[in-house]
Chain A
Amino acid sequence: MKANYGYMDGSGEYFITIDTDLCIDCDHHGCVDACPEKLFEIITDDYDDEVSAIKEDHRKKIKYDCAACKPAGDRPPLPCAEACTPGAITHSW
């Protein structure tokens, strides 16, 4: 399942997509510790699978929470995407 966490408003679309079909097989969930803002958590989803998700209280402000990892100009690799060995995490902006 592709779970899109975030929102769209007049300024653009801000979604972090987690492909839970890939996430399901990960045994270390590096994203949880890699994110400096601690956006990620491990949940048991509706189908009883343990997967990574964006915490509820961050979902409506991820544009701002992720801002530190997305400087203008040269953009370094995103810590969450880099730590995700199955390649399950993508950002829409």
Chain B
Amino acid sequence: MTEVKVKEFWRWKEYNWHDENKDWKGAETITAGVDVGSVSSQVVIMVDGELYAYSNMRTGSDSPDSARNAMNWALEDTGMALDDIHYIVGTGYGRVNVPFANRAITEIACHARGGNYMYGPSVRTILDMGGQDCKAIRCDERGKVTNFLMNDKCAAGTGRGMEVFADLLAVSIEDVGDLSLDVEEEPEPVSSTCVVFAKSEATSLLREGWSKKKVLAAYCSAMAHRVVSLLDRIGVEEDFAITGGIAKNSGVIKRLEGELKINSLKSKHDTQIAGALGGALFAKSLAEKQRKKGA
């Protein structure tokens, strides 16, 4: 019998990075943030408050293992060991299951702090479009949360919903955004309240003869619409920034910016590491506090 290999269109690239020009050995404070999310896990290592290394990979079925794997990958080729890190903060859904974390902090606080670092102190509204939830966060100039709202009851408006569509239409997840923009006329959005309904609606549209691009446009538009209603509840104040995996989807972002009539800030950093980055920044403050107490 011949085995049929199914291509996983939803699978996004996993990667790690470290700054080869930085020497961490003489550093005063080395901290890390470990963000174990529902879909992806990230580790960010900071040396004296500066970004040194990070990794981004898919979360497995076991949170402690996912945290360990992401940490090992971030440390790869750096010469640094886990014991060299002075303070570690765990965040995300699996934050209480990070075996080597000194403290757990919610992803809401970490995204605000990480967003403040990535986009600068002028950022006041952060939208984190994660794997299985969506968070709208208002923060002050120090990255402290002033208002937040999270919707994690259903997959509509989340990365997982986008993965379902990539698989349904056999389109690589990384191409979804650009393809959805390649339509002559913007179609009506599909159902924005439920991914299962949206998927069955999309199947019907394909049978009616809609192109893949048009269906993607309808879904990206639904996703943007869904998220706008979330943002409306807390109010959007500029500057506005988007974090999480969906921030890499131009189709959703362009439509979201169009609905809000606001352009989002861009960052040189990967939008998926915002939570772990915030965790590493919290870890630095906590390590210094701990050191002062001990002195």
Contacts and interface: CB of A to CB of B under 8 A. Distances in A.
Interface of A: 1-4, 7-10, 13, 15, 46-47, 60, 92
B146 A2 contact: yes
A59 to B, nearest CB: 9
A7 B152 contact: yes
B151 interface: yes
A8 B146 contact: no
B145 interface: yes
A8 B230 contact: yes
B39 interface: no
Contact of B194 (A1, A8, A10, A47): A10
Nearest to A10: B193
A9 B154 CA distance: 8
Contacts of A8: 151, 153, 229-230, 233
Interface of B: 105-106, 108-109, 138, 144-154, 193-194, 229-230, 233-234, 282
Interface SS of chain B: mixed
20 contacts: A2-B138, A2-B148, A2-B234, A3-B148, A4-B147, A4-B148, A4-B234, A7-B153, A8-B233, A9-B153, A9-B193, A10-B193, A10-B194, A13-B233, A15-B149, A46-B106, A46-B109, A47-B109, A47-B144, A60-B152
A7 B226 CA distance: 13
Interface SS of chain A: strand
B105 A46 contact: yes
Contacts of A7: 151-153
Nearest to A47: B144
Contacts of A9: 153-154, 193
Contact of A4 (B106, B152, B233): B233
Nearest to A19: B147
Contacts of B148: 1-4
Given A7-B153, A8-B153, A47-B144, 9 more contacts: A1-B144, A1-B145, A1-B146, A4-B147, A4-B148, A10-B194, A13-B233, A46-B109, A46-B145
Nearest to B107: A46
Contacts of A10: 193-194
> Which 4 A-B pairs have CB atoms at the shortest separation, nearest pair first?
A46-B109, A7-B153, A10-B193, A2-B147
A10 B194 CA distance: 8
Nearest to A21: B146
Contacts of A13: 233
A9 B194 CA distance: 8
A3 B230 CA distance: 14
B242 to A, nearest CB: 19
Contacts of B138: 2
Contacts of B105: 46
A9 B192 CA distance: 10
A74 to B, nearest CB: 27
B193 A15 contact: no
A12 B108 CA distance: 23
A21 to B, nearest CB: 9
Contacts of B193: 9-10
Nearest to B197: A10
Contact of A15 (B154, B229, B233): B233
Contacts of B154: 9
A4 B233 CA distance: 10
A3 B233 CA distance: 12
Nearest to B192: A10
